Structure formats: C-alpha cells, structure tokens
Amino acid sequence: MIVCFEFATYEKAYESITDFTGFYNQRRIPSSIDDLTPYECYELYKEKKVNIKEIRV
C-alpha cells in the first residue's frame, strides 16, 4: 500500500516525517523482534544483551 501526502511547506513535511520516524522507532512494537521497539532492540544489541540473527535474502 502506497500513501502519498502533499504538504503546504517544507516545515510541515519535515514535522510529519519526524513524527512518523519517532513512532516507528520508539513506540511501534513488532512481534518479530521479541515485542521490542526497534530503538529498544538496538540499545540492547549495543549492550550485547540481545543476539540479532542475520537474514540474507
């Protein structure tokens, strides 16, 4: 699904993208990474508290 948006100004576009990025990385909880947000998973990975399996496609 592709969704297109038109923004009146650069500032509105930047604000919208920043909000979405914050949601995607810090609040969205995907089941594929043990119900952690991407940010939480990355922080645990940096501390070597989680093992991320490499997947090649």
What is the helix (H) or strand (E) element at residue 12, kind and residue range?
helix 10-22
Q: pTM of the prediction?
A: 0.50
Domain boundaries, the chain: 10-46
> Which residue from 23, 26, 22, 20 is spatially nearest to 41, judged by alpha carbons?
26
Question: For residue 53, what pLDDT is reported?
Answer: 73
DSSP states along 13-52: HHHHHHHHHHIIIII---GGGTT--HHHHHHHHHTT-S-P
Average confidence (pLDDT) over 16-32: 79
Average confidence (pLDDT) over 26-38: 74
Report how far Cα 52 is from the mean position of its chain's Cα atoms. Answer: 16
Measured between alpha carbons, how far is 30 from 35 in angstroms, rounded to an integer? 5
